[in-house]
Structure 1
Amino acid sequence: MNVDQTISDLSTLPVGDRLRVVHAIWDTLPDDVDLSPSAEQQAEMDRRLAAHHADPSTAISHDEMMRRIEKRR
């Protein structure tokens, strides 16, 4: 199995089918797998949270986020 070719093939599927594949793969992960963010990911989340605390007006509500996502479909 060539993983790069499989990923390339999957990328041609409609979004809904790709999401089904993501969910199916996610469901195969063992319960004891470490899903903690890497140090770099944690640092980025901390940076974004600090930026939000410094200027909360830059955030949008959950409803607004969902409206924007639906608008793109």
Structure 2
Amino acid sequence: MGMKTIDLRTKSAEELNQELINLYQARFGLKMQIATQQSNKTSELGKLRREIARVKTVIAEKGVAK
């Protein structure tokens, strides 16, 4: 986690889509851990949300539909 935008821009469309799927899965897992009180890392949700937005922005810049 924590890729820089410049690193994302060098990836192919398929790699970006896979990265987006991985981030969604990580966010879901973290939400479940927080809901079941197995984790108290609520700040990680914001970090994941911003990372997802970063990947979506690069996908939009490339003009690739998901």
Work out which structure has the larger RCO, using CA pairs closer than 8 Å and 6 or more positions apart in sequence.
Answer: 2
Query: What TM-score comes out, normalization by structure 2 length?
Result: 0.37
Which is greater in Rg?
1
